[in-house]
Structure 1
Amino acid sequence: MTVRACTFLLLIAFAHAFIDEAVDVIKLGKEIGEEVLNSWDLLGKPLNISGGVDLPVIKRRERIVLAKLDRISRMIERLELGIEKNSAVAMLLAKTGRGARLELRLHEMADLLSRVASADRQMREYVRLQKELERTTLEDFAQWCVSHDPGALPGLLERVHALIAPPHKHLLGRGILNLVLDDLQEEHPDLCELQLSPHQLIYDMYNTISLTEIKGYAMMQFSWMLLRIYGKGNFTQEASLTRQRYGERTSRTAAAARAALAMARRDLYRCDPPQHKLGETYEEVTRLLQGYIENEVDMNSDNTCRENCAYYTLAEHHTCFKEQFCAQQAVCKGRIIDCNYIDSDMWVCRAGKNSNRRYEWIEYENGRTLGKPGSCPRGTTKVDSWWKWNLLHCSYCMCLCEDDIGSSERTFSLREANADFDNNKVVTGLRLVKHGRVFHLQISEGTLGERGSITPGSWVPLQKFDITDSGIRDGIDYHTMSYEKRAIDLDELDSPTGYILTGVRFRMIGAHLHFEIRSTPFNYTTGRLSPARSQWISNDNTEGAEVPRSRLELFRPDIPTRSATPLPVDSKHDQYLEFTHSDFEADAAQSTVPFVDIQPLEPMKGSALISGAGIIHRGTRGSGGFIAAKLFTYNYSRHIKAESPPAFVEADVEKDLVLPVSNF
């Protein structure tokens, strides 16, 4: 993609400011329309230069128009000042392959918006230097702003509009918003990194194009005024036609934007980072179910070997008979589950003392291996089964250990994470974090303003606790995963129309860790919340329902950080999965999967309106994947509308002019 196309996409990123500001493009267009109307009212009757009008009268009216134009320029500039000129969106669309049709239109749009932006900058410079400029300079610029030449301002605006709403669809095809939407609807890893939903991107494009229309309308109207001052004509009808055509274009652009926004996905989540880092991008549930070598003689109180490994479906460690291999490893302090016999003798590579693993890999004498054999820093340990009294074979079994809670990290907080909605704050971000041995849901909050604007805040401090603290109760304050209670529900929840996200929490439904969101109604225009009408929303479906919640199976799951390709979202709403051990062959069942993605999810750095959230799984066949958070950005489509500027009536007599305070 060329620099000019990237320039257009940079302009798309500029629209982020509108969400941060209290005044959006719709309101700005209305205000500027009123300013234009007031300016025409102030001008009064047209001057007749041939009749010998004094120069001071011309200069006085010129000053009025330019002062008004300066005021409008500052209104537009106020929105642009807070814009972060980030090339992220340009990078996103520039490095992704797309059809020739879309690329050509992006090239053309880049060129057109650049020309309008250049004219706007020139206009601001003329306003700033008005005392030093000759009248002919302003007159020539005004003539260009209303010229019928295709390369003049009106022609540029019409060509921009034709890209949004083609006048002859059977010849020119679909509009650029729909083409961009098609390109974004597929899996888009860069949107994950930018933390921008397709819906937000389309909304930003609409804002950028609308601002261009506003700039063009202001320049054209004030050009008619200047030409009227210079005695070139009345131009009342021309100004009225300009207003009418502006209204038609903005109305059709709004309709195209609403249609695209209605189809655009609003979900947002994080993808795989460039490099997985424990404690920074992910955390692990540890020793919930872990591969564990135990001799059958140590799993019964009689120290006998009368049974076989399969007999021990549920057992515990009783003793360490004759200080054999059991004395060289950390014993299972909890339950021993689902034992199996693989082979009598083996070489075991034990993990480091500070590792949550017990073994790096195991190689049996029959050639079977568990894990990935290789170097072994601690040296391999030979482990051989034996005969007791030459009558009973005491076999080493491969089992699962559900360790005691003191040796594992598998606790989830059930405490609510709420924004300070009493002070008009809403959720702006979400992440899963681990503090101590407890996993928490953490939110960021921002202050809600008029018309969906958000003033970014910060991450809300966790309600920290340890499960050993006084007064902390299992099932009330926290849930500890166990063999029987290790399911987590995968749901994607959105607020009803007119509501916004103000909180999240986990709660237990049977044996399932269940996710819920808190939604609060708000007034979009004023930005005021109604906390008294707040409600919790959840999908309370269970496996026993008439249409039961479906299970997401993990097939022979390896450690997710070993995946050579990015892990896509493979879960659907109304599913669940169970935390389990990693695959025996791939990892000797040493890890608990899925891992927990702790990357912060904060759209547009905490300045986006969020309506929903969810818990999802990113993974693929043969990988344990990640449990992760998802957010839904607010649906702006119903707020997209065009308001035509107010009509004006020609004044019959010149009014008593009151000059505004000069800024020069």
Structure 2
Amino acid sequence: MRPVTCGIVIAFLAFTVNGYDDPISILGRIRWNYTQFEDNLWTRQYKNTTLNEIYVKHSEFFTAINNVYNGSECFYPTFNATTVKKGTPVDIINPYHVPEIASVIQSNADIEEYWSKFANWSTVNASNMLEVLTDDAIPILQNSLDTLWNSSNTDVYFDFLKNTSESCTDIDEPQIAVYKLVEKYFFNTIVLHLKAYVMLQLSYLTGAAKDFLHFHKTARDHRVAFNSQYVNVTLQTENLMWNLSRIIWSCDKFSSNESYTQLTNFIQGYVDNEINMNADGSCAPYCDDFKSTKNYGCKEGTLCATNYLDHNKTRCLGTIRDCDYFGPMFSICPNENDLDINRRINFVQFASGKILGEEKLPCDFFDAKPFMSWLTTCRYCFCYCDAPGPRSDRHFSLRDVISNVAENKVISGIRIMKKNGIIHLEASERTLLPKNELDPNTKSIVSNNNFTINDPNVVENTDYFTMTYDNRILNLDTIVAKGDEIVTGVRFRVAAGSVYLEVRFTYYDEVTGKLDLTTDSEWKMNLNTNRTTISTEHSDVPTKLQTQSIAMGSDDTDAVRFVPTSWVKDMAQSTVPFIDSNLIEPSELAPLSGVGIFYKYQKGYGGFVAPRLITRDHSAAVMRIRGAVGVYGV
């Protein structure tokens, strides 16, 4: 088997060749011109045209195709099974295991090998051409072209395109805009078809010098089949394009703490004795009767009175909630790492050997034994500490993040990040160009996060919102433009105690690529209050997950509540979901017609909330696909 090499199309930037301003349309004209040229040769001019003249003319078509098609990066990567979104067909993990895809790849290799030879042959004289044209060129090219058509015309092939673009197949890059990927695959496919066809016809024309009638009939049959198949695959791709998802979201890629963030010390697992939670210092009532109380002091000998620990970790300085009794005898492994201020307890071990949390040894245990006080048993309770303060990051910024519309810049990417204990939206911006393109060289970051909650003139519920035990809902929405609007801003807002997303839209002219600054931009949101809260109870820390999360939520009727992790798995020390802080921006730049917030998870883990993007509709891409046939027909 020949080594596999793949071609890649040049970037879809606006440029013009002979009046046609995109590669697919240019290719459509080259196809039309070539089929007319070789048809005329066979029917009218062959006997009056020398082989050398035929080769010289073909060299012009070789050059024209090479000018449109350039590069060497392969479109058919091998995927790692651990990075593929749940539900993706197994065969999609490695395209070489899909017969149709493997056939396309091998046909690609064969065609490219002969293309390189023919490109050189087309510059030599007729006698040399006859000498170097090997007997196996025609059957191999015929077989490659037939295989290419038969394989790329199947549902499996088109399902492959769709599934690869919608799956978490690349943990280093966000998803490519789906229509961009399909457009590239389409261009890659039809240019290979055209290459194979041109080489076949040149071979037939060369062979006709010995047997005109045989090669003339074969050439005519292939011309009819080629034009029919070319139009058919174009129409199939166009149909696929109309049904593609416009959603862009980032796969999990948490290589450092900066790639995710979380609320901290917010409704956190906490252990205290009954005697410390009564104003009168008594040990009644029982643990599960404490629904909302506080720590009134630290009785000598109890956990919060120990002097070798950080008292801010062992004593709750806020409201103690929802206590329960887990058992009479256990040992606590406190978190004594001074650098880790967000964890009170590492794990608990019972006399039976049962462990709550993740065991970390060695440990200086504290034995939580019940004791008697005034003839009453004083037990240790498992509760939740809700303690706002400098150690608790639970604030959401309400400030606007807006692109520089005066310089014709629009939002091109979004991230959710934390600074100074406040969760912020941050965006990337780029200059808008004609025909829904963005200038890749004009990226800048837009933020409005240079403040703290203690700064002068910073006002709660105006500049920021503080989550509480009763108000800790984040609505999952996707806000999409209607008509000729484009995203120029994002912000968080609060309604009925829930945080939700607002998106700013500005009208623009698609042809000129200019924002309409004469019309007021509009902030849009979804204020639906009848929502389903996705359950994240009893979950583990999501960064322990070894496979990719799956997406759910964001159909404008869902919401997620921030809750503690599981007692059993994490001693309820963390708050989930975490927040994905990676910048989500299409690797193939595309203007945005919407922004959303969604939830992604795997069963048993607390998951992440993350932004997702909605690209512009695919109508312009569909018109480019049609340009492969265009006004030229078949």
Q: TM-score, structure 2 length as denominator?
A: 0.78
C-alpha contact 1:613 1:632 (8 A) present in aligned 2:
yes
Instruction: Give the match's secondary structure for 2:25.
Output: helix
Instruction: Classify the secondary structure of the residue corresponding to 1:406.
Output: coil
Deviations 1:470-492 (A, max 9, x none): 22222222222211111111224
**Residue 327 of structure 1 aligns to which amino acid in structure 2?**
A
Please name the residue that 1:19 is paired with. 12
Corresponding position: 1:134 with 2:125: yes
SS at match of 1:412: strand
> Take 1:217 and 1:645, find their aligned partners in 2: how far apart are those partners?
19
Q: Does 2:427 match 1:455?
A: no
The one-letter amino acid paired with 1:134 is N
- Count residues in correspondence: 600
Q: Which residue of 2 aligns with 1:512?
A: 498
Judged with a 3 Å threshold, the aligned counterparts in structure 2 of structure 1 residues 369 and 191 are, in CA distance, closer, same or farther, namely closer
Equivalent residue for 1:444, pick from 418, 422, 428: 428
Structure 1 stretch displaced more, 248-257 or 287-296: 248-257
1:154-553 alignment runs, 5 A limit: 157=145, 160-165=148-153, 174-181=154-161, 184=164, 188-191=167-170, 193-196=172-175, 199-213=179-193, 215=195, 248-273=228-253, 276-322=254-300, 324-328=302-306, 329-330=311-312, 331-351=315-335, 352-355=337-340, 356-364=342-350, 369-377=355-363, 379-388=364-373, 390-457=374-441, 458=443, 460-464=445-449, 465-496=451-482, 498-530=484-516, 532=519, 534-542=521-529, 548-553=530-535
Deviations 1:399-441 (A, max 9, x none): 2111223111122222333444443444433322222312222
Q: Identity over aligned residues, as a percent? A: 23
Partners of 2:75 and 2:614 in 1: CA distance:
24
Once residues 127 and 528 of structure 2 are traced to their aligned partners in structure 1, the CA distance between those partners, rounded to angstroms, is: 74
**Residue 37 (structure 1) shift:** 11
- Give matches, 1:90-101, under 5 Å: 90-91=78-79, 97-98=90-91
Report the alpha carbon displacement of residue 452 of structure 1 after superposing the two structures with TM. Answer: 3.9
Cα 1:120–1:503 change in 2 (3 A) is: farther
**Shift of residue 514 of structure 1?**
0.9
Which whole-Å CA distance do the structure 1 matches of 2:352 and 2:46 have between them?
107
Structure of greater relative contact order (alpha carbons < 8 Å, 6+ residues apart): 1
1:636 maps to 618
* Structure 1, gaps ≥5 residues long: 166-173, 543-547, 649-664
State the partner residue of 2:607: 625
For the residue of structure 1 that corresponds to 2:390, the secondary structure is: helix
Return closer, same or farther for 1:140/1:454 CA change in 2, 3 Å cut-off.
farther
Question: Structure 2: which 5+ runs fail to align?
Answer: 16-20
In the superposition, relative to structure 1, how do residues 313 and 204 fare at CA in structure 2: closer, same or farther (>3 Å)? same
- CA-CA distance at 1:39 after TM superposition: 9.6
Deviations 1:586-605 (A, max 9, x none): 2221111112222333332x
What is the match of residue 168 of structure 1? none
**TM-aligned CA distance change 1:461 to 1:161, over 3 Å:** same
Q: SS where residue 551 of structure 1 aligns?
A: strand
Q: CA deviation at 1:291?
A: 1.3
Structure 1 residue 560, shift from structure 2 partner = 2.0
What is the one-letter code of the residue matched to 2:413?
Answer: G
Structure 2 Cα separation of the partners of residues 64 and 345 of structure 1: 93
SS of the aligned residue for 2:77 comes to helix
The aligned residue for residue 102 of structure 2 is 107
Conserved? CA contact 2:502–2:523, under 8 Å:
yes
**CA 1:526–1:115: 2 relative to 1, 3 Å:** farther
Judge conservation of contact 2:100–2:152 (CA < 8 Å) in 1.
no
Which whole-Å CA distance do the structure 2 matches of 1:266 and 1:288 have between them?
36
Match of 1:658 in 2: none
Give the 3 Å change call, closer, same or farther, for CA 348–39 of structure 1 in structure 2: same
Determine if contact 2:269/2:573 at 8 Å carries over to the other structure: yes
Structure 1 residue 397, shift from structure 2 partner: 2.7
Deviations 1:247-290 (A, max 9, x none): 644432221002223344443433344xx555143222111111
Letter in 1 for 2:320: I
> Which residue pairs with 1:590 in the alignment?
573
Q: Aligned-residue CA RMSD in angstroms?
A: 4.7
1:252 partner amino acid: N
Per the alignment, do residues 501 and 461 of structure 1 end up closer, same or farther by CA in structure 2, a change over 3 Å counting? closer
**Normalised by the size of structure 1, how large is the TM-score?**
0.75
The secondary structure found in structure 2 opposite 1:456 is coil
Comparing 335-344 with 583-592, greater Cα deviation is found at: 335-344
Aligned CA distance change for structure 1 residues 407 and 134 (closer, same or farther; 3 Å): same
State the AA in 2 paired with 1:504. Answer: V
Relative to 1, partners in 2 of residues 1:282 and 1:258: Cα closer, same or farther, differing over 3 Å? same
**Is this contact kept in 1: 2:346–2:360, CA < 8 A?**
no
